[in-house]
Amino acid sequence: MSWYPNIRYGTEGYPEKVARRLRGFNIAVWLASLIPAGMALVRFVDGKWKVGVADVLVATTYASMPLLHRFGPIAAPLAFVGVSYAVALWVTSLVGTSGATQIGYFTATALSILIIGTERYFITIILGIISVALIIVVELHLPRDTGFVSPTMLFLTNFSASIVLNSALLYGIIFYAVRQMERAEEAAERERKRSDALLVNILPARVADRLKERPSTIIADSYREASILFADMASFTFRAADTTPEDLVSFLNRVFSQLDGLVEHHGLEKIKTSGDAYMVVSGVPSGRPDHLRALAGLALDMREALAGLVDGKGRAVSVRIGIATGPVVAGVVGTRKFFYDVWGDAVNVASRMESTGLPGQIQVTDEVYEGLKDDFSFERRGLIDIKGKGEMQTWLLVGRKASVAPVDPVVAA
């Protein structure tokens, strides 16, 4: 058995929020029981043993209050307030109003708000009204000094003890309440930062900012010009069938992390991965005049980075890349697992450029070729039948022309 009181007494089985209040209550009543215990000592020394015994009874009643927690979370607090009102009335009638015992009514009301909680505010309002009524009644009907003890004794014991203890209790109650409020604010701030960080991970920073400012807003923007890239690993279905889940996921993770690094380096926006496919957009959500050049630079770097790629079983993995350019619409869809995506004919065509492309090659449309031919070298692929479009002239992006400096991602971004 420990030598100090168990402040959790009677609070087991209550939800943490309630148990915390009841623990505070236990501390408060055990501290409060020291007041009548001390007064009992004074009365015994003064020879007023009957009052001393009554004080001992009051001290014991306060100290036993936690026994009532078994009858519900507000049983003990209500009993405490009731007993305190009765004791304050008894002491005031014994010594007179100069003993300042009636200040305790304020403290009991403040304590009841802390312990009963604001959700039962009706009870605390009633207790507040009873406090005010009792102070007025006591002031009107009880004498200032009954002559029970000498004025000096009254000042030194009742008055001083009442002022000091009630001030200390009120300070403690307000300090505790404000501290709890600050802690809640700090926790809310930490949560906000955490959800902001999550939002920025799944949405472009600018889009995340707009959603944070106006959460109910619909994000749907059209861009007159943008460029889209799709990359896809050839024979992925076949590879997925004969690879363990761990190997497959760690392989995809390795490849996609490498590509993420390149996209970031080029200041572009990854839209998503889907299976083994990887989609990037340029000129969205921040428009940039060199969107096509920047995306071509990324495509070449991706091809270089993935050249010689082997899977977990040491088999060569080749990647098809497709690029198209044109107007797009970008927006956020979904309510819970929401994501940022890009749609439009240029997106469909970019996907087709990838799916009809060649392993290890970057296939682009005629518009892309026209936009880049001065700075990049191409090979004509010829006419390709594109579903939903018919025959299209396509090109294979080979590299940068020797005289052209690569786009500086930092300057361009």
Ligand X SMILES: Nc1ncnc2c1ncn2[C@@H]1O[C@H](COP(=O)(O)OP(=O)(O)OP(=O)(O)O)[C@@H](O)[C@H]1O
List residues near ligand X by CB under 6 A: 279, 341-343, 347-348, 351-352, 388
Please, which residue, 247 or 341, has the CB nearer to ligand X?
341
Residue 331 C-beta: closest distance to ligand X, Å: 10
Q: Which residues pair with 281 in a beta bridge?
A: 228, 269
Please, which residue, 165 or 324, has the CB nearer to ligand X?
324
Please, which residue, 81 or 281, has the CB nearer to ligand X?
281
Please, which residue, 30 or 343, has the CB nearer to ligand X?
343
Tokens standing for residue 244: 């363990």
Q: For residues 206 and 29, give the distance between their C-alpha atoms in angstroms, rounded to a whole number.
A: 55
Q: For residues 188 and 243, give the distance between their C-alpha atoms in angstroms, rounded to a whole number.
A: 44
Please, which residue, 175 or 339, has the CB nearer to ligand X?
339
Residue 401 C-beta: closest distance to ligand X, Å: 30
Please, which residue, 348 or 377, has the CB nearer to ligand X?
348
Nearest to ligand X by Cβ — which residue?
351
Residue 186 C-beta: closest distance to ligand X, Å: 41
Q: For residues 102 and 83, give the distance between their C-alpha atoms in angstroms, rounded to a whole number.
A: 14
Please, which residue, 111 or 295, has the CB nearer to ligand X?
295
Q: Which residues pair with 376 in a beta bridge?
A: 400
- Cβ atoms of 375 and 293 within 8 Å: the answer is yes
Question: How does strand 319-333 pair with strand 220-233?
Answer: antiparallel
Residue 215 C-beta: closest distance to ligand X, Å: 24
Please, which residue, 65 or 346, has the CB nearer to ligand X?
346
Residue 405 C-beta: closest distance to ligand X, Å: 32
How big is the CA angle at 135 (ends 131 and 136), to the nearest 5 degrees? 120
Please, which residue, 21 or 270, has the CB nearer to ligand X?
270
Residue 223 C-beta: closest distance to ligand X, Å: 14
Residue 123 C-beta: closest distance to ligand X, Å: 58
Residue 379 C-beta: closest distance to ligand X, Å: 24
Q: How far apart are the first and last CA of the chain?
A: 68
Please, which residue, 146 or 348, has the CB nearer to ligand X?
348
Residue 280 C-beta: closest distance to ligand X, Å: 11
Contacts of range 137-143, beta carbons closer than 8 Å, 24 or more positions apart: 138/89, 138/92, 138/97, 138/102, 139/97, 139/102, 142/92, 142/93, 142/96, 142/97, 143/96, 143/97
Residue 328 C-beta: closest distance to ligand X, Å: 9
Q: For residues 229 and 346, give the distance between their C-alpha atoms in angstroms, rounded to a whole number.
A: 10
